[in-house]
């Protein structure tokens, strides 16, 4: 099957509107044509600068505008990041994602993040960062330092965007994604469901992603983790089946992309997660914490993988390990 970038909203809606089991069955069929069955890519997240963000994203614990009781932390030291990355690798993660609560990185932050990318990359991990908006030169320097992925979510439809965030526009998001692509990095971009949006907004989000000239290589589908003190703390919970439908539709229309069962997994039973994998999710975050909220810990995930017969995609050997191998050959 060739990759299509000309999906219409009506086609996406028709996929969504199918009976649930037909949709999940179709998604699993597409999944098996493009990926190895029963194999999940595992990433670990680390917050490298927490809280006091000037943006006003209504879902976020890190916005300085809301009283979420989060304790802010300054930039953490690079050697601490390296220790966390090593331990993530030892636990079976193949990608290490570093996130900062910035509107955009300042020039004074660039040497710090570039050094971090170089050192994490040398451990043999894939590198990913999410630092807010980037200009072209910042994207190029990150790429040159060895950054594989940049995460920058569209989060919701163009129409609903201003209901959720007023300090930047949907087009600002697209501009950064463009800079990331131009620089030659892989794109990680998806969204959040459960923000009080309609199915039509979820269709709009997926339509925007699936009509990009090149689909994002990684598509996180987060479910809102309600945060006390934020404007979305009491929003009505979305049905899990609607989250799973969103995963299934994403799998069908972006068949080569990793679809990530992202924030919100803590609230899912093992059988809900199994359904999400059936719907084509093949990536997740492991570890006790996402950026600021709890996540299924490593032990819990090991049990889940064993129960379902899943395997984690293998991390690559580090430069040091390759050097030892070459010397002993």
Q: Which residues are catalytic?
A: 53, 57, 60, 97, 128, 188, 260
Helix (H) or strand (E) holding 45: strand 39-49
| Residue 134 binds ligand SAM (CB under 6 A) | no
DSSP 235-256: PPPPPHHHHHHHHHHHHHHSTT
DSSP 2-15: ---S---HHHHHHH
| Residue 70 binds ligand SF4 (CB under 6 A) | no
Six-digit token pair at 162? Answer: 């201003």
**Does residue 103 have a known ligand-binding role?**
no
Cross-strand pairs, 155: 191
Rounded Cα distance between 9 and 27, Å, is 18
- In terms of C-beta density within 10 A (0-12 exposed, 13-18 middle, 19 or more buried), how is residue 6 classed? exposed
Contacts to ligand DTB from residues 26-45, by CB under 6 A: 45
According to CB under 6 A, which one of 58, 152, 260, 265 is a site residue for ligand SAM?
A: 152
Contacts to ligand SF4 from residues 130-169, by CB under 6 A: 132
According to CB under 6 A, which one of 53, 142, 187, 248 is a site residue for ligand SF4?
A: 53
Nearest approach in angstroms of CB 192 to ligand SF4 is 9
In 62-154, DSSP assigns E strands to: 95-100, 126-130, 149-151
Contact call for residues 4 and 214 (beta carbons, < 8 A): no
| Residue 284 binds ligand DTB (CB under 6 A) | no
**Does residue 32 have a known ligand-binding role?**
no
| Residue 188 binds ligand SF4 (CB under 6 A) | no
Contact call for residues 185 and 150 (beta carbons, < 8 A): yes
| Residue 63 binds ligand SF4 (CB under 6 A) | yes
Which residues contribute to the site for ligand SF4 (CB under 6 A)? 53, 55, 57, 60, 62-63, 101, 132
Q: Which residues bind ligand SAM (CB under 6 A)?
A: 59-60, 99, 101-102, 130, 132, 152-153, 155, 192, 222, 224-225, 227, 263, 291
Q: Which amino acids are annotated as binding site for [2Fe-2S] cluster, given as ranges?
A: 97, 128, 188, 260
């Amino acid at each position: 099957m060739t990759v299509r970038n000309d999906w219409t909203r009506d086609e996406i809606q028709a996929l969504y509107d199918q009976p649930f089991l037909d949709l999940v069955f179709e998604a699993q069929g597409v999944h098996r044509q493009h990926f190895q069955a029963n194999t999940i890519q595992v990433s670990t997240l680390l917050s490298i600068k927490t809280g006091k963000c000037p943006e006003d994203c209504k879902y976020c614990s890190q916005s300085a505008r809301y009283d979420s009781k989060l304790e802010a932390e300054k930039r953490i030291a690079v050697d601490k990041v390296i220790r966390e990355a090593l331990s993530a690798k030892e636990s079976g993660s193949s990608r290490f994602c570093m996130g900062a609560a910035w509107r955009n990185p300042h020039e004074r932050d660039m040497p710090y993040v570039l050094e971090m990318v170089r050192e994490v990359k040398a451990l043999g991990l894939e590198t990913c960062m999410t630092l807010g908006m980037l200009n072209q030169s910042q994207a190029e320097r990150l790429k040159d330092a060895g950054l594989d992925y940049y995460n920058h979510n569209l989060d919701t439809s163009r129409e609903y965007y201003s209901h959720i965030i007023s300090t930047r526009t949907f087009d600002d998001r697209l501009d950064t994604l463009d800079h990331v692509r131009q620089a030659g990095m892989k794109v990680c971009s998806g969204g959040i469901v459960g923000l009080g949006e309609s199915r039509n907004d979820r269709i709009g989000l997926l339509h925007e992603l699936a009509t990009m000239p090149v689909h994002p290589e990684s598509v996180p589908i987060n479910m809102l983790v309600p945060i006390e003190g934020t404007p979305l703390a009491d929003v009505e919970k979305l049905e899990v089946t609607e989250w799973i439908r969103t995963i299934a539709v994403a799998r069908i229309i972006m068949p080569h992309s990793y679809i990530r069962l992202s924030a919100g997994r803590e609230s899912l039973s093992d059988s809900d997660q199994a359904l999400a994998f059936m719907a084509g999710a093949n990536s997740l975050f492991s570890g006790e914490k996402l950026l600021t909220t709890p996540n299924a810990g490593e032990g819990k995930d090991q049990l889940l993988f064993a129960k379902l017969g899943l395997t984690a995609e293998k991390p690559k050997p580090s430069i040091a390990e390759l050097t030892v191998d070459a010397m002993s050959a």
